[in-house]
Amino acid sequence: MPDWRLDAVERVSGDVGDLLAQAGGGGDILIYVHGFNQTFETAALDAARLSDAIKFRGRTMVFSWPSKAGLFDYSYDRDSAMFSRDDFERVLSSIVSAPAAGRVHVVAHSMGTMLALESLRQLYARYGDTVNGRIGAIVFASPDIDMDVFSSAIGRIGPLAGKITVVTSTNDRALALSGRIAGGMTRVGAAEKAAIERLGVRVIDASDAGWGIINHDLFLWNAEVLKVIRRAIDTAAA
């Protein structure tokens, strides 16, 4: 894995769609939404690693929400993620409204999947089926979402639900801890494959792919999981 680093950050102003237009050219866009316990720097580096690993041929962005980046700040991060759903919806809305932009592919991890799903629900409520052609692949890696909440949201995003690929692992120890914090409720990313498939989304069970201690970030380094993400984007772009 390349030794990525963040050398500088340049602050710019303006609408995301306008910034993309100023940069020139079209092409698809990959947006990475990070999970719990992440700084802006680690999120940006993970976005770069992911984009490089799957050889994404468009533009890569990261939506960084205000995580406290502390191991014991789960509740704070959960509230921050939900607080950011309107902002992410505005980003998505700006891109899908930009005539020069291609399709938007979303890869969200862990707690970031809850944020991404809520924003997509709001986006669909705003645009309806007309947004379907502008959204490409939606990949939820190790989603830290309650099954009932996930099921309810899936039922409210119309054809976007058919674009979702969920990467699960029943031996994800981070989600096992999250489930205990949530009162013993199984998280989507640690649920049985059949239970999620009944909701009409594609599921990749990566339980046999992870041999690490935590098995929560397989989407960044496991070759088979990365192939799944690449295939989901290729299929959506076809």
Question: pLDDT for 67-114, tens place per residue?
Answer: 999 888 989 999 999 999 999 999 999 999 887 778 999 999 999 999
SS percent in the chain: helix, strand, coil, step 5: 50, 15, 35
Q: How many C-beta atoms lie closer than 10 Å to residue 160's C-beta?
A: 20
Q: State how far Cα 224 lies from the chain centre.
A: 18
Average pLDDT, rounded, for the chain: 88
Select from 114, 86, 23 the least CA-distant residue to 60. Answer: 23
Beta strands in 53-118 (DSSP E): 59-63, 104-109
32: in domain: no
Residue type, 159: P
Indicate the pLDDT class of residue 202, thresholds 50, 70 and 90: very high
**Does a structural domain hold residue 26?**
no
Answer yes or no: is 124 within a domain: yes
Distance between CA atoms of residues 2 and 232, nearest Å: 24
Assigned domain for 21 exists = no
27 within a domain of the structure (yes/no): no
CATH number for the domain that contains residue 74: 3.40.50.1820
User: Domains in the chain: how many in total?
Assistant: 1
Range of the domain at 126: 38-237
Share of the chain above pLDDT 70, in %: 92
Structure tokens given for 182: 């949530």
CA distances to 43, 46, 109, 151 from 39, in Å: 6, 11, 14, 29
**Spatial separation of the C-alpha atoms in residues 131 and 154, rounded to whole Å:** 16
